[in-house]
Amino acid sequence: SPGAPPAQPPDMTGAADTSAAYLLNVRDIPSARGSTVVTQGVRGQEDPIGGRNSNRTWWQIDLGGGATGWVSAYYVTARDTQSVPVTFQS
**Strands 46-53 and 58-64: what pairing?**
antiparallel
pTM greater than the 0.75 cutoff: yes
Q: pLDDT 10s digit of each residue in the chain, 90 long?
A: 455 555 555 566 667 777 777 889 999 999 999 999 999 988 888 899 999 999 999 999 999 999 999 999 999 989 889 999 999 997
Q: 38 forms bridges with which residues in the sheet?
A: none
Residue from 57, 51, 53, 89 nearest 73 by CA? 57
Residues 73 and 76: their CA atoms lie apart, in Å, by 5
Asked whether 41 and 1 are in contact (CB, 8 A), the reply is no
